[in-house]
Amino acid sequence: MLNKTCMTTLTCALALAAAASAAAPAAPVEVGSYYTAWSTESGFRLKQLDQAGVAGRFTFLNYAFANLYKMPDNTYRCDSGRDIKDAADGGGMRATLDYARPFTAAESVDGTADTATQPLAGNFNQLRQLKAKHPKLKVLLAIGGAEWSRWFSAGAATAPLRRALVSSCIDLYIKGDLPVLNGHGGKGAAAGLFDGFDIDWEYPGVPLMAYNTISPADKQNFTLLLAEFRSQLNALGKKQRKKYYLTAAVNSGAKTTDATEPAKYVKSLDWINLMTYDFHGGWTRQGPTGFHSNLYPDPGSPDTDKQSVHTGVERFLKAGVPAKKLVIGVPFYARGWSGVPAVRYGLYQSATGPAKGFEEGTEKYSTISARKAPKFYHPVSKQLWTYDNGNFWTYDDPLVIKEKAAYVRDHRLGGMMSWALDQDDAGFALSKAMLEAR
Query: What residue ranges define each of the domains in the chain, with the CATH number in brackets?
Result: 26-332+396-437 (3.20.20.80)
| 250 strand-pairing partners | 274
| 142 strand-pairing partners | 64, 198
Model's pTM, two decimal places? 0.94
Query: Is there a contact between 153 and 212 (Cβ–Cβ < 8 Å)?
Result: yes
Looking at residue 21, what is its pLDDT?
43
256: exposed, middle or buried (Cβ count in 10 Å: 0-12, 13-18, 19+): middle
Question: Nearest-CA neighbor of 264 among 238, 210, 225?
Answer: 225
Distance CA 87, CA 85 (A): 6
Looking at residue 8, what is its pLDDT?
52
Distance CA 44, CA 200 (A): 23
Share of the chain above pLDDT 70, in %: 94
Distance CA 95, CA 86 (A): 13
Quick check: 9 pLDDT over 90? no
Query: Is there a contact between 34 and 421 (Cβ–Cβ < 8 Å)?
Result: yes
State the chain's mean pLDDT as an integer. Answer: 95
Quick check: 20 pLDDT over 50? no
pLDDT in tens, 86-130: 999 999 999 999 999 999 999 999 999 999 999 999 999 999 999
pLDDT in tens, 250-295: 999 999 999 999 999 999 999 999 999 999 999 999 999 999 999 9
**Amino acid in the structure at residue 353:** G
Distance CA 77, CA 437 (A): 37
**Amino acid in the structure at residue 196:** G
Distance CA 145, CA 151 (A): 12
How far from 81 is each of 63, 160, 173, 186, CA to CA, in Å? 17, 25, 12, 10
Q: What is the mean pLDDT of residues 364-392?
A: 97
Looking at residue 7, what is its pLDDT?
43
Distance CA 80, CA 260 (A): 29
Share of the chain above pLDDT 90, in %: 92
Quick check: 345 pLDDT over 60? yes
Q: What is the mean pLDDT of residues 403-411?
A: 98
Question: Nearest-CA neighbor of 94 among 102, 82, 78, 103?
Answer: 82
Looking at residue 28, what is its pLDDT?
86
